[in-house]
Chain A
Amino acid sequence: SLDRFPLGEKRLMDVKLGELGSWLGKRDFTPNGVLASIRNGHDRYYNKYINVKKGGIGGVAMLLVGYVALSYMWEYDHLSEYRLWEYDDLRVPTTYNIIHLKAL
């Protein structure tokens, strides 16, 4: 039913799986296009969760959870020193735990 519309103007959820690559190629990656998509996403989130009469904590809480998750991802390399077990061999503890944790 949506076949007669051009591919580049369909939404992500309406694109078939096989057309995903060509759809991605048709999207606007110029700086203006990127800015427009950022603005669009912001407007959608803002108008759905924040710009309402009785908004709950969901609007802000989701942003904070996203921030926490993002900062965890950025710090993962540093935090991976505190792992308990080595990835390859789960019986071997990491060097941090051998040196610092006498209980092991």
Chain B
Amino acid sequence: TSKSPCLPRLVQLSHLHTSPNSQAPVPALPEKGGKTRHGIIPEEIFQLLYPKTGVTGPYVLGAGLLTYILSKEIYIINHETFAAACMGTVIIYGVRKFGPDVAAFADKLNEEKVQKAQEVKDLAMTSLAQAVLDEKKEQWRAEGRQMLFDAKRNNVAMLLETNRRERVHMVTNEVKKRLDYQIALQTLHRRMEQEHMVNWVEKNVVTSITPQQEKTSIAKCITDLKVLAKVQQAKATA
């Protein structure tokens, strides 16, 4: 029966959100409920009658009503009245005596429930915050991709360079070997020619020495040696 919720003081919306799209947090439960006097009469009755009848108004109203219903026998006193009175006494005594303890116990239970939910929420918050930090770290890491690619590019360039230099060395060595071979070949040629020529000249000279020349040279050598020996002897004795 609620038609338009924006007009003031109309039929009240319920306490919690009804639309699924609302992002606002749910408001907390109220601390205390509606006040009641003596546990069964809402405080509003007393507030209603206070301007006209003061503080004792509702009590006088209650007393008058009680007298009326008793005298007209709208409330009939029978055996159940006694049972109701006994039960009422016991209930009131029990509530007065054990009420605060039971309330404290119930509050403790509620506390524990709330604490458990809070723990779950805190755990979820910390884990999600940690996940956010990790995600940021991953994003920072992803920015370093450029450096990774540069390093890889450097590696590849170095490999290519090494390969090129190896091949250049190989080419140099091969060419040098071939040139060395040619040089060795030429040296060999020259040496062989030289030796051959020396041998040929020697042979020719040796064959050109006639026996006559040989005899005269030997005789000269002997006379030279004798002179040298005489000179040496003279030197030794002198």
Contact = CB atoms under 8 A, between A and B. Distances in A.
B55 interface: no
Interface string B54-78: 0000000000000000001101111
Contacts of B235: none
For the complex, would chain B's binding face be called helix, strand, loop or mixed by DSSP majority?
loop
Contacts of B9: 2, 10-11, 14
A65 interface: yes
Contact of A82 (B3, B78, B99): B78
Contacts of A33: 1
Interface residues of B, number: 33
Given A2-B9, A40-B11, A44-B12, A28 B29 contact: no
Contact of A9 (B11, B32, B75, B99): B11
A48 to B, nearest CB: 5
Contacts, number: 94
A11 B10 contact: yes
A contacts with B: majority SS: helix
Interface of B: 1-4, 7, 9-12, 14-15, 29-36, 39-40, 42, 72-73, 75-78, 95, 99, 103, 107, 110
Interface of A: 2, 5, 8-11, 14, 27-28, 33, 36-37, 40, 43-44, 47-59, 61-62, 65, 72, 79-80, 82-85, 87
Given A49-B33, A52-B31, A62-B40, 11 more contacts: A8-B3, A9-B3, A9-B7, A11-B9, A14-B9, A43-B14, A44-B12, A47-B14, A54-B31, A54-B33, A57-B99
